[in-house]
């Protein structure tokens, strides 16, 4: 949602110290008992902050980098306190939400997506900025170029369009493609509170929080739509209700990314703050780690002296057992698959860290269940994306009314624009489609990865996936190749995925010595792993304008779907009601032509008759004149 400029009462933040160290002390102040309830009482939001080039310039460029880092850290120190503050009306958050600044980056030259931004005069449009920032962050995260995180926050010195100071996706927390926000932030010390409120507000949208209104105050709290200069650093009871709904209905579908306790934070190291930082081996948060992490000497934040030397901490590292690194031969799963679109990771040996999270190949069929209903979709970035789920669950939860999906309404989403759903209160009419699902005037976009119809795909089969507002082929979205993800990546001959392939060596993704093709290919005989004979049908014709595709005999892949030549005579295939409609149109057209022709004929006849009448009248006048004896005059008078 977009928001107008807001200010925050200075008195609310006078006790904050704008320095890096304060941030870590603030994190460590909570009781160690409560901090250890990972997976239940505490949800950790690991944030990666990015200062754009305009903000870098506002601090004086390279000479102001330290001041920039201190200022941005102070902002997140404030955001942390806002999320820990008690909401109004005696409400309480369903979990303790701990904001952790996991890393920070700065664009010291031009923003990498500058050429793709859209401007209105000198102002940057928030929609283009958020879209490009999210796309950049997703690519960098997949490539391991930025610190692993749950949420990306852009701190910008740009002027956004329409007096907007912040913009974020609603309910997008934990989605690797959309979990983030863009925020306008000043460079002075007095700008820290206002910037923090903006970030807390936009992150609230990521958590599914909507703007305050009835029955909550429409202004004065973090989730107000328009600031009045006296914003308090508190959430309303309505915000608590929204975030509770998000955790109960959406969180489990989007990867439950907030369960792991961070092992590192940005800034100067502080021993015994519970985070492993530069120069530390471990950090349990206490001086005596015996009962928490026996591998760690809490007084020094170093491994306990041992022979052989300890290599890691069981408490912090998933690939550590008995203070030693797990060997690859153990094939130990350090991260279980989060669902049918995710892959389990195993310890690689040589490191106590679990490998980067990887997913099933994009475009694989999947399903997701919610409230007793099952929604079919396609895998995208580890999540099962389904337009039916978006309407039936997300839109229904976030907006008024009951929504689902129909074939007619589904077609409107193939352009990957804004969400169109079917009105669930009118099940007998599939054409009752609703489109205006908006927050503060900005319509909800079709989610990344949503199945869509790509023009080269067979009719009525949605095999494409929405990406940056366009329907895209799944293989172009495969960012990280991996044997076992279900898709044939570069250098592979096959891939067993989760379904298996009798013709494939699953561990190497290469065909078996006697195999000529993959059993998952349409032109491969799965019983013999040999190519089907040339001319064997592999894709039936879907209508009179389509043709059957047949195997070539030299490849396991069914040829590209093609149709008959343009202009070939055909019989339209429509539902009876549509056929009657076409006939009616033809009949009306014929009647129209006949009527017009008759009118023209009548007009022509009338013109001819009028000409004849005029001629006859002229002849009659001539006869009368002659009969009257009038003689021509020659200039003389007759007696």
Residues 6+ apart with CB under 8 A from 333: 344, 345, 346
Q: Which residues pair with 460 in a beta bridge?
A: none
Total count of residues recorded for the chain: 639
Active site residue 549: no
Rounded CA gap, 391 and 10, in Å? Answer: 42
User: CA-to-CA distance for 213 and 216, rounded, in angstroms?
Assistant: 5
End-to-end CA distance of the chain: 110
Per-position DSSP letters for 524-575, written without gaps between them: EETTTTEEPPTT-EEE---STTB--EE--SS-SSPPPP-BPPTT--------
Q: Which of 46, 131, 202, 492 is catalytic?
A: 202
Cα–Cα dist 169/447, whole Å: 10
Instruction: Compute and round to an integer the Cα radius of gyration of the chain.
Output: 35
- The Cβ of residue 423 has, within 10 Å, a number of other Cβ atoms equal to 19
Query: Is 211 annotated as contributing to ligand binding?
Result: yes
**Cα separation, 25 vs 271, whole angstroms:** 10
SS3 content of the chain, % helix, strand, coil (to 5): 30, 20, 55
What stretches of 142-232 adopt beta strand conformation (E)? 151-156, 166-168, 180-184
Q: Looking up tokens 């039916």, which residue turns up?
A: 388
Query: Which residue has 């195999």 as its token pair?
Result: 515
Which positions ≥6 away from 9 have C-beta within 8 Å?
193, 229, 230, 231, 232
Show Cβ contacts of residue 320 under 8 Å, excluding neighbours closer than 6 positions. 295, 311, 312, 313, 314, 326, 352
User: Using an 8 Å Cβ cutoff, are 501 and 519 in contact?
Assistant: yes
CB 173 within 8 A of CB 150: yes
Is 422 a known ligand-binding residue? Answer: no
Q: Which residues are catalytic?
A: 202
Residue list for the binding site for Zn(2+): 201, 205, 211
Residue list for the binding site: 201, 205, 211
């Amino acid at each position: 949602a977009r928001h107008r400029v807001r200010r925050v009462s200075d008195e609310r933040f006078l006790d904050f110290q704008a320095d890096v160290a304060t941030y870590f002390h603030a994190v460590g102040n909570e009781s160690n008992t409560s901090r250890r309830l990972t997976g239940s009482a505490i949800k950790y939001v690991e944030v990666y902050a990015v200062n754009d080039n305009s903000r870098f310039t506002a601090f004086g460029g390279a000479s102001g980098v330290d001041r920039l880092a201190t200022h941005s850290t102070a902002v997140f120190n404030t955001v942390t306190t806002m999320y820990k503050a008690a909401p109004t009306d005696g409400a309480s958050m369903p979990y303790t939400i701990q904001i952790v600044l996991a890393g920070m980056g700065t664009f010291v030259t031009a923003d990498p997506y500058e050429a793709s931004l859209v401007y209105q005069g000198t102002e940057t449009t928030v929609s283009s900025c958020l879209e490009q920032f999210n796309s950049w962050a997703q690519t960098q995260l997949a490539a391991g170029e930025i610190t692993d995180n749950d949420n990306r926050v852009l701190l910008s010195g740009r002027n956004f369009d329409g007096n907007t100071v912040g913009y974020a996706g609603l309910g997008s927390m934990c989605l690797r493609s959309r979990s983030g926000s863009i925020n306008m932030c000043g460079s002075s010390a007095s700008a820290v509170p206002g910037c923090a409120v903006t970030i807390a507000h936009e992150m609230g949208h990521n958590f599914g929080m909507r703007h305050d209104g009835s029955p909550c105050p429409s202004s004065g709290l973090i989730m107000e739509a328009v600031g009045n200069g006296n914003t308090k650093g508190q959430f309303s009871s309505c915000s608590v209700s929204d975030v509770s709904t998000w955790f109960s209905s959406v969180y489990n579908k989007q990867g439950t990314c907030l369960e792991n306790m961070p092992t590192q934070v940005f800034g100067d190291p502080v021993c015994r703050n519970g985070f492993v930082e530069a120069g530390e081996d471990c950090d349990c948060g206490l001086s005596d780690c015996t009962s928490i992490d026996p591998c760690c000497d809490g007084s020094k934040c170093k491994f306990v002296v041992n022979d052989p030397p300890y290599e890691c901490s069981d408490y912090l590292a998933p690939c550590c057992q008995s203070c030693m690194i797990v060997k690859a031969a153990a094939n130990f799963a350090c991260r279980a698959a989060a669902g049918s679109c995710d892959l389990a990771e195993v310890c690689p040996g040589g490191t106590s860290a679990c490998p980067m999270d990887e997913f099933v190949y994009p475009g694989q069929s999947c399903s997701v269940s919610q409230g007793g209903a099952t929604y079919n979709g396609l895998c995208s970035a580890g999540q099962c994306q389904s337009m039916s789920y978006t309407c039936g669950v997300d839109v229904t939860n976030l907006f008024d009314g009951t929504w689902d999906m129909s074939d007619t309404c589904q077609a409107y989403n193939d352009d990957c624009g804004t969400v169109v759903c079917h009105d669930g209160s009118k099940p007998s009419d599939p054409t009752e489609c609703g489109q205006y699902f908006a927050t503060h005037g900005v319509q909800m976009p079709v989610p990344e990865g949503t199945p869509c119809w790509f023009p080269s795909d067979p009719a009525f089969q949605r095999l494409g996936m929405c990406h940056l507002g366009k329907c895209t082929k799944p293989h172009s979205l495969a960012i990280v190749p991996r044997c076992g993800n279900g898709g044939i990546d570069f250098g592979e001959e096959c891939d067993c995925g989760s379904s298996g392939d009798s013709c494939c060596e699953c561990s190497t993704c290469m065909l078996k010595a006697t195999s000529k093709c993959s059993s998952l290919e349409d032109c491969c005989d799965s019983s013999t792993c040999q190519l089907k004979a040339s001319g064997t049908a592999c894709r039936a014709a879907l209508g009179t304008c389509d043709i059957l595709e047949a195997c070539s005999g030299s490849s396991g892949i069914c040829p590209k779907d093609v149709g008959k030549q343009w202009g070939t005579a055909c019989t339209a295939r429509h539902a009876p009601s549509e056929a009657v409609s076409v006939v009616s149109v033809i009949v009306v057209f014929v009647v129209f032509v006949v009527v017009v022709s008759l009118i023209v004929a009548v007009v022509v006849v009338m013109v001819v008759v009028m000409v004849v009448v005029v001629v006859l009248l002229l002849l009659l006048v001539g006869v009368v004149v002659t009969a009257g004896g009038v003689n021509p005059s020659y200039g003389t008078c007759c007696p």
